[in-house]
Amino acid sequence: MQELLTQSWSWWFSGLVIAATMFVLLFFGRTFGFSSNMRTICSMAGAGKKVSFFDFDWKAQRWNLYFLVGSLIGGWIAGTFMNPNMPVQISEATISDLSLLGFSEPAGLQPDEMFGREAILSIKGFALLALGGLMVGFGTRYAGGCTSGHAISGLSNLQFPSFLAVIGFFAGGLLMTHVFFPYIF
């Protein structure tokens, strides 16, 4: 039992729970798609007065905000009560690749070089997080969904548009990792 709490969980269990999440939401009469919340929050903040894309009945989307609050709580539970303070178990090859870019060996789930206090208080560090967020937010709405809406919900329903979106996700990710990273870091 102790081990279950402190060690990391396997990929197949995680995959099953993600699929189960989608099914549970379907049985609640909803669709699994996390990034819709970003549009909803913009609308709640009053963006609908200026831009018609945000002028919709966001109250019908409240269920998804509750799901968002739940995932915040889930993260807190995992980080507070199930945190082994163990470094993430990534491959030696990745550790060695990242060391060439100036990243030290993992000490937790996230690199200090990206998310540590020193990084986010530097102009470059802050700009990278801001740029990453901008691209995720812009891209996900342009593509009409994120990993949950396209890669999980869309592919499960054999939607060709979602297949194209997932190709885009990977094309962009490979470009950033293999072409831009050496210039950024």
Q: Which of residues 51-80 bind another protein (CB under 8 A)?
A: 51, 53-54, 62-64, 66-80
Q: Of these, 2, 11, 123, 124, which contacts another protein (CB under 8 A)?
A: 11
Tell me which residues in 138-157 interact with another protein (CB under 8 A): 138-148, 150-157
Minimum CB separation of residue 169 from another protein in Å reads: 4
Q: Of these, 94, 99, 104, 122, which contacts another protein (CB under 8 A)?
A: 94
**By the rule CB under 8 A, 100 interacts with another protein:** no
Tell me which residues in 102-141 interact with another protein (CB under 8 A): 106, 109-111, 114-116, 119-120, 126, 128-141
- ∠ at Cα 78 (24, 129), nearest 5°? 95
Say how many C-beta atoms besides its own lie within 10 A of residue 55's C-beta.
12
